A and B are shown apart, each in its own frame.
Chain A
Amino acid sequence: MEALGLYNYWLVIALMMTGFYIVITSPNLVKKIIGLNIFQASVFVLYITMGKIIGGSAPILSDQVSVYSNPLPHVLILTAIVVGVATTAVGLSLVVRIYAAYGTMEEDEIVAAEREDP
């Protein structure tokens, strides 16, 4: 039953590959950013999973609780989420500028337009 117990990790792998696949195959720049977000989300789940202990509570000192979940990975991933938001913001603003300059956000059309530039 080990495979089922690792449910979260299977989810991480599925999400990671989904996101990665979108980044690689989609010619649409906005979809690439979405893929990147899914890819990053899988890492968030990975970190949150590794800190969680079944039956463990939040790490607040109390007489009734003896098992705590590790808060450190959760805090780390807060930072990573902020980084992800910043990356997405920069990426989307680049897409806006690209759309203004090329009139398209499909990668193949941009490549064709780039070839025509000197």
Chain B
Amino acid sequence: MIAAHLPVLQVVLPLMAAPACVLLRRPRLAWGFATLVSWACFGIAALLLGQVLENGDISYALGGWAAPWGIEYRVDTVNAFVLLIVSAISSVVLPGARASIEREVEGDRVDLLYTCWLLCLAGLLGIAITGDAFNVFVFLEISSISSYALIALSGERRALVASFRYLVMGTIGATFIVIAIGLIYMVTGTLNMADMGARLPAVWESRTVAAAFAFLTVGVGLKMALFPLHLWLPSAYASAPSPVTAFLAGTSTKVSVYLLLRFVFTIFGAGYAFGIQALEYVLMPLALLGILSASVVAIFQLDVKRLLAWSSIAQIGYMVLGISLASLTSLTASILHLFNHALIKTGLFMAMACVFYRIGSTRLEDMEGLGHRMPWTMAAFVAGGLSLIGVPSSVGFVSKWYLVLAVLERGWWPLAVFILFTSLLAVVYVWRVVEAAYLRPAPAGTGRSEAPLSILLPTWSLIIANFYFGLDTSLTVGVASRAAASLLGAGP
């Protein structure tokens, strides 16, 4: 009975839990409740993925109104995988968030932070699961508005400015997406994604569709911090409370990448996006420039959270590069990297949450000698860093391997060299942290003081997942290649 309603429960559960969380008032109670809800969401997402892999796509009609008139929740391999990533990241980060949040956020706001967290989770899951284009906008704004609040809850005053800038850029991005949806509605008369996809080929020549496509690409580009629309990201990630950064870094840009995949392949169709509009000529140069420039900028950062944020922009570039190649292997690489990068970056940012908990800063100069003071934390950082670089046996290697394969399929070997070269840039910025933490002496009078287990355990479980999924790739590669095949098959 309940199994049939899982798609809607996936969103309704956190959405309804959020106001309930406000009523709890007590910080620890709110935290326990949010963690429970998040794990329930993870359970639902895992069940949904299992159902999809076994029985194929699920279509759920909200309130019994049949698509295309009613709102349809449609779960296929692609979004089932994204649902799993988002809920898993939230569930792993939340148990570690309590201690860290108590340090970083003022006491009377802690319970509200968990409310915003649940709202943000509901929004992100909603974007992923819905089959209705306007629903995407509504959920996008639910997740965005709550993430502005999450970022601003940090005690630092620069977080307020970062949140404001994100708000301005995010609202412009979301409004562009609504314009695009409205223009598509004008020519197709439908809001259902599958229905849009079926009706659009008849009007491919229309200038309205071309305008919609342009608005959409820019709007989603803003949301996923595609170079050169990335300027909101570094300061937002650097100044937000550390667990919030870990959560957002693993989920929000990933969901936006999913949105690009969905719109390009399911709605417009690969034939339109790449055949008529030549999207690859826009995406590929931006992806390459983004990878290169963001990696170089990351090298010169003085704050490790900011450094990791710049590295995130570069990693988004790899995902977009995969999308721009639009082949089965390259899409597999993109979807794999979606999952793998979520594991890598969340793990690294959680390590930074440990550091911030102990020394109250993540600046390189304050982290000198930290390898001896916090051995477990810094070991986690190094392991995560190796995965970020793409050392064999880590997840970072798996996704880069598929990306290089996809590039070589086209015979573009200079691009393969470029990918290897930019991985070396990652070596440089990870090394800067390693050098400060291990090769510089610790300030006098500081002893060993490890972060509490409650933060350390989630950090290490993410790092271990990095290497587990690096060695046993059957689940991730299997799902990602099926997802890529369904995206390419859905297009006309």
What A residues does B175 contact at CB under 8 A?
A: 39-40, 43
Q: Are A114 and B161 in contact (CB under 8 A)?
A: yes
**Most chain B beta-carbon contacts within 10 A, residue among A90, A101, A110, A118:** A90
What distance in Å separates the Cβ of A29 from its nearest Cβ neighbour in chain B?
A: 6
Q: Are A43 and B179 in contact (CB under 8 A)?
A: yes
Chain A positions 19-52 with a Cβ under 8 Å from a chain B Cβ: 20, 23, 29, 32, 36, 39-40, 43, 46-47, 50
Chain B positions 147-174 with a Cβ under 8 Å from a chain A Cβ: 148-149, 152, 157-158, 160-161, 163-164, 167-168, 171-172, 174
Could you give 26 example pairs across A and B, Cβ below 8 Å?
A: A20-B172, A23-B168, A32-B168, A36-B171, A36-B172, A39-B175, A40-B175, A43-B178, A43-B182, A46-B182, A47-B182, A50-B185, A73-B185, A76-B134, A79-B134, A83-B138, A86-B141, A87-B141, A87-B145, A87-B171, A91-B164, A94-B148, A94-B167, A98-B157, A102-B157, A102-B161
What A residues does B179 contact at CB under 8 A?
A: 43, 46
Instruction: Tell me whether A17 is interfacial, beta carbon within 8 Å.
Output: no
Closest to A110 in B: B161
Q: How far is the CA of A49 from the CA of B186 in the complex (A)?
A: 10
Q: Are A91 and B167 in contact (CB under 8 A)?
A: yes
Query: A residues within 8 Å of B by Cβ?
Result: 20, 23, 29, 32, 36, 39-40, 43, 46-47, 50, 72-73, 76, 79-80, 83, 86-87, 90-91, 94-95, 97-98, 101-102, 110, 114, 117-118
**Most chain B beta-carbon contacts within 10 A, residue among A72, A80, A83, A102:** A83
What B residues does A80 contact at CB under 8 A?
A: 137, 178
Which 3 pairs of residues, A with B, have the shortest CB-CB distance?
Answer: A101-B157, A83-B141, A94-B164
B contacts with A: majority SS = helix
Q: How far is the CA of A110 from the CA of B179 in the complex (A)?
A: 32
Q: How far is the CA of A43 from the CA of B215 in the complex (A)?
A: 12
What distance in Å separates the Cβ of A55 from its nearest Cβ neighbour in chain B?
A: 19
Given A20-B172, A98-B164, A117-B157, list of 15 further CB < 8 A pairs?
Answer: A29-B164, A40-B171, A46-B179, A50-B185, A83-B137, A86-B141, A91-B167, A94-B152, A94-B160, A94-B163, A95-B164, A98-B161, A102-B157, A102-B161, A114-B161
Q: How far is the CA of A114 from the CA of B164 in the complex (A)?
A: 14
What distance in Å separates the Cβ of A79 from its nearest Cβ neighbour in chain B?
A: 6
What distance in Å separates the Cβ of B107 from its nearest Cβ neighbour in chain A?
A: 17
Closest to A50 in B: B186
